[in-house]
Structure 1
Amino acid sequence: MKRKTDPLDSVAGQILENAKKSGLEINTAEDAENLMAHMLGRLLTQMLDGEMTNHLGYERGGKRVTENERNGHSSKTLKSSSLGNIRIDVPRDRKGEFEPRVVPKHKRQLAGFEDKVLALYARGLSTREIQGFLYDEYGMETSAEFISDVTDAILPEVEKWQNRPLDPFYTTVFFDSIRVKIRGDNGIVTPKAVHLALGVNAQGRKEVLGMWVADNESAKYWLKVFTELKNRGVSDILIAVTDGLKGMKEALEAAFPNTLLQTCIVHLIRNSLKFVGYKDYKAVAGALKPIYRAVNAADARKELDAFAQSELGLRYPYIAKQWIDSWDKVIPFFDFSPNIRRLIYTTNAIESLNRDLRKVIKTRAAFPTETAALKLLFLAIRKVEKRWVRPSPYWSAAMRELVVLFGDRITPYID
């Protein structure tokens, strides 16, 4: 099939011919890229000169029509994720009134470059690693300050996200935390907890409601978090699922008194098996199943008491004690059918998120500031949320039962 003639073919041919006449050898794709970077720089310079002519109202060498006039050029290097460094000459006017539009003042990169840097940063690459990548891939030299400036440009977006209005109602909110190391002003590295809240609304849509950094957990701290959620529009939560976060119960009773507090069953099982010997591991895991698979709370307690008196329970007495100490936060689970239990059985939804977040922070020995940590976590969260396109496969069946159980608390929010 004959290739269609492109109107720009003659232009490309002329460029190559002129390049050869100038002594330039174009033998490789790299040679072509270097030529294109040079040509783009010249094109942008001509466009800027055109803007200056329009600004002053007369052509170069023509008669002045205002008191203002041209005042030479200043060199500027732009960064492109595809062509590397591009040199342009920006025209100046005597009065300094010229505001270029093609390449605005203070702009140092072409469209798409910021996205490239942010994508690398979101993968967990350090500033030094991003510098190395850009140099190896594009021959582009950048400073640590430049990379920091590009990533800092999202800070207003982070603040807007953290303070955005939320839905008035959530069926479930999962609370958990991850640990990050922050280097303080004194140079000492301190591990801090970044708490996350993942909500599931009346349509089954998941979203991260926010993240908060704290040195210590307490009822006062969690009440502050809940107050922020209320100020952003949340008026009701049916079920809060957590893993024994300190002070959560007291704060939840104060802020959302009608919300059920459910401990994460999987966390409880995992903590129970933490110090079990290898030879007993499968046996203990099997012995715990009748407890959390019981039909109701009464049967579950009978199974727990039976386990406590069994040989395995006597060998590992701390297991039954853990369950008994958490029993008031375990039993709400047994009031629901298997469809709802699947949704609140575990904080897997937020644990899956945490795994993705840990992947991007595991290479960091420590973050220089809390802001640096939140900046990276926000980019990672934004990437993960793009995968949340549909509700859980159990959602429809569970929702029908929730409507029966909670009635007027949920029906106003169903489409």
Structure 2
Amino acid sequence: MTQVHFTLNVEEVQSIIEHSVKDDVSKNILTTIFNQLMEEQRSEYIQAQEYERTDSRISQRNGYYERDYTTRVGTLELRVPRTRDGGFSPSVFERYQRNEKALLASMLEMYVSGVSTRKVSKIVEELCGKSVSKSFVSSLTEQLDPMVQEWQNRSLTTTEYPYVLTDVLYIKVRENRRVISKSCHIAIGITEDGYREIIGFMIQGEESEDTWSTFFESLKERGLTGVKLVVSDAHKGLVAAVRQSFTYVSWQRCQVHFLRNILSKAPKKNAKKFREAVKAIFKLTDIDFARTMKNALVDEYIDQTKYTEACETLDAGFEDAFQYTEAGQGYNRLKSTNLLERLNSEIRRREKVIGIFPNQASANRLIGAILMDQHDEWVGSNRKYLAMDR
């Protein structure tokens, strides 16, 4: 994504604050900022500042045209710069509107289809600042779908992702007059430099070995390479698909899910010592030491009937739950899918406004827009998820 650098005219903003009525302050400040951003973006496109003479210039300024731009604080009246060659198109604010477009389009599709609640129209008015027509919804949908599809199918050949975290999110979709559950498969890749990216998502009819295989094969077809470790929960279809699609790749069982599974099989009462001992094992990063503690705990409790199932579960899944100590170089953040859980929570927060998607395209649109924005935020940050300097 292009990074635009410019100097904000602070005096002009301060003047607006001093002379505007309270209700118009936010709108006027945003209008000034967006106009300045677009002005600077035009200069970067032309490769010359105003009145500057330079051999690198590729076009000339050609005035402005007026455009209304809808935000949560109301409709802004912007002066959009033009160039003589007609090739300049400002894009600095498109990312900030993308999610709002997706949510608005999905809600209005529900409203038009007759499957929404009475609150939907009020939410739409609050987001738009004015009433909207069906043609406006159609316009938003036409603009957003190609963006999501292009990003969803983009090439992954330029980067290797040694670590992949994956999970599924269930959503409700209206199909043939019925409300059915669909699975949204999501994958996050960690690059060789330790940065995180959302490398793919796919909405399918269920979670099974076939759907996971379809998802993994689509990632490979787009150029996913260099995978050393896949982190996920222990869904049988998912695990089987990992082993089928990623030969010679280790699988890390999410420790958070695994620990929860073990403790659910332990007694609810008078089992504090056992529970604390199990939790202590999963705090270790040395697999040999953890294995020794595990064996000792199993030997102590497995013959006690009420602990037998929990011990057997721990013993059977232990090795898979500590693969990050070897294939993942011991990075603690690779021992669970917590990163994906947080991402899913953000999708749930937005999806909760809708409840039931009117169709699969609407679900793909909204979830795709949310994931695109999160991806852009991660890629645009200098903060590494893993300190890959070992």
Q: Smaller-chain TM-score range? A: 0.5 to 0.7
Amino acid at match of 2:141: T
What are the within-5 Å matches in structure 2 for residues 122-137 of structure 1? 122=103, 126-127=107-108, 131-133=121-123, 135=125
Q: Secondary structure at the match of 1:270?
A: helix
What are the within-5 Å matches in structure 2 for residues 85-164 of structure 1? 116=97, 118-119=99-100, 121-122=102-103, 126-127=107-108, 131-133=121-123, 135=125, 140-144=130-134, 146-164=136-154
What are the within-5 Å matches in structure 2 for residues 208-227 of structure 1? 208-227=198-217
Structure ranking higher on relative contact order (CA contacts 8 Å, 6+ apart): 2
Q: Secondary structure at the match of 1:371?
A: helix
What is the CA–CA distance in structure 2 between the aligned matches of 1:165 and 1:113, rounded to whole Å? 22
Q: Give the TM-score taking structure 2 as reference length.
A: 0.65
Q: Which moved more, 1:148-157 or 1:111-120?
A: 111-120
Q: Give the aligned partner of residue 228 of structure 2.
A: 238
Q: Give the aligned partner of residue 315 of structure 2.
A: 324
What are the within-5 Å matches in structure 2 for residues 336-375 of structure 1? 340-375=330-365
Q: Secondary structure at the match of 1:208?
A: strand
Sort the Cα spacing of 1:81 and 1:223 in 2 relative to 1 into closer, same or farther, 3 A.
closer
What are the within-5 Å matches in structure 2 for residues 21-60 of structure 1? none
Q: Give the TM-score taking structure 1 as reference length.
A: 0.61
Amino acid at match of 2:70: S
The question of 1:333 aligning with 2:314 is answered no
Q: Among 184, 190, 204, which residue is 1:194 paired with?
A: 184
Q: Give the aligned partner of residue 251 of structure 2.
A: 261
What is the CA–CA distance in structure 2 between the aligned matches of 1:165 and 1:198, rounded to whole Å? 15
Q: Secondary structure at the match of 1:247?
A: helix
Q: Give the aligned partner of residue 70 of structure 2.
A: 81
Sort the Cα spacing of 1:190 and 1:264 in 2 relative to 1 into closer, same or farther, 3 A.
same
Q: Secondary structure at the match of 1:367?
A: coil
| CA apart distance, 1:274 | 3.8
Sort the Cα spacing of 1:235 and 1:357 in 2 relative to 1 into closer, same or farther, 3 A.
same
Sort the Cα spacing of 1:382 and 1:273 in 2 relative to 1 into closer, same or farther, 3 A.
same
Whether the aligned pair in 1 keeps the contact of 2:104 and 2:124 (CA below 8 Å) is no
Whether the aligned pair in 1 keeps the contact of 2:232 and 2:337 (CA below 8 Å) is yes
RMSD value, Cα: 3.9
| CA apart distance, 1:391 | 4.2
Whether the aligned pair in 2 keeps the contact of 1:79 and 1:113 (CA below 8 Å) is no
What are the within-5 Å matches in structure 2 for residues 61-76 of structure 1? none
| CA apart distance, 1:294 | 4.8
Whether the aligned pair in 2 keeps the contact of 1:174 and 1:241 (CA below 8 Å) is yes
Sort the Cα spacing of 1:251 and 1:133 in 2 relative to 1 into closer, same or farther, 3 A.
closer
Q: Among 281, 300, 310, which residue is 2:290 paired with?
A: 300
Whether the aligned pair in 1 keeps the contact of 2:277 and 2:297 (CA below 8 Å) is yes
Sort the Cα spacing of 1:29 and 1:243 in 2 relative to 1 into closer, same or farther, 3 A.
closer
Amino acid at match of 2:249: T
Whether the aligned pair in 1 keeps the contact of 2:266 and 2:310 (CA below 8 Å) is no
The question of 1:315 aligning with 2:296 is answered no
- Unpaired runs of 5+ residues, structure 2, are 1-10, 12-20, 28-66, 78-82, 84-91, 112-118
The question of 1:390 aligning with 2:385 is answered no
Q: Secondary structure at the match of 2:236?
A: coil
| CA apart distance, 1:373 | 1.0
What is the CA–CA distance in structure 2 between the aligned matches of 1:153 and 1:248, rounded to whole Å? 34
Q: Which moved more, 1:117-126 or 1:286-295?
A: 117-126
The question of 1:176 aligning with 2:157 is answered no
What is the CA–CA distance in structure 2 between the aligned matches of 1:244 and 1:291, rounded to whole Å? 19
Whether the aligned pair in 2 keeps the contact of 1:296 and 1:335 (CA below 8 Å) is no
Whether the aligned pair in 1 keeps the contact of 2:301 and 2:311 (CA below 8 Å) is no
Q: Secondary structure at the match of 1:194?
A: strand
Sort the Cα spacing of 1:379 and 1:178 in 2 relative to 1 into closer, same or farther, 3 A.
same
